[in-house]
Structure 1
């Protein structure tokens, strides 16, 4: 609705609203994070929900979120659907830390490795230098 008024009526939202859109920071671990982790690691959840969880959990700058992503990055069932999303979210964590956990990276399935390379390439290309590049057939 806001986009409609901005686009079609020249409305400008209040400065406080605009500032909140660009504010970064970590969310406190809460029930929402627990639900996302549960979805991400559950083999019973729908793939679309698991993919959305892989994307959203990166908003919590918490080791539990990274651990769930690393677990998901080893799961053949979800990786075929969400490997890139999982990898990009892992890359967000490693980018914030300024370092890649090489052992964890090498353990990830190739689709997830491509997601990590994509995420680091967009956010911190220097961290991607020297990382193993999986076969191109897994880049989807």
Structure 2
């Protein structure tokens, strides 16, 4: 886990050229790029231990060492995970496109955890709470 965190941290010190707001509007070949993978690594840093993501995050922003420490600490904060404002399902859509283009086991694991989060929080009638 320390090696993965180190690799993510190294990659996340770089700014993304594509903004998070436009991430789902890219041409399909972009999702196979190194830039898309770097952004996917950042997105996965924000994923909480329960598989969900917090809302109102700019995953394309530069992450410094202090941010990385805070993100690592926040993984245990399950109260911030939601499907509100595009949280969780937008990262899942993006990661799905990256996985389809690059077939990374790390991205695949993140996708499995995200889908499990959605299914676990779903009501019997198919709906779900904004915050599970």
Whether TM-score is above 0.5 comes out as no
TM-score using structure 2 length: 0.38
Instruction: Considering Cα pairs closer than 8 Å and 6+ residues apart, tell me whether 1 or 2 has the greater RCO.
Output: 2
Give the helix-richer structure, 1 or 2: 1
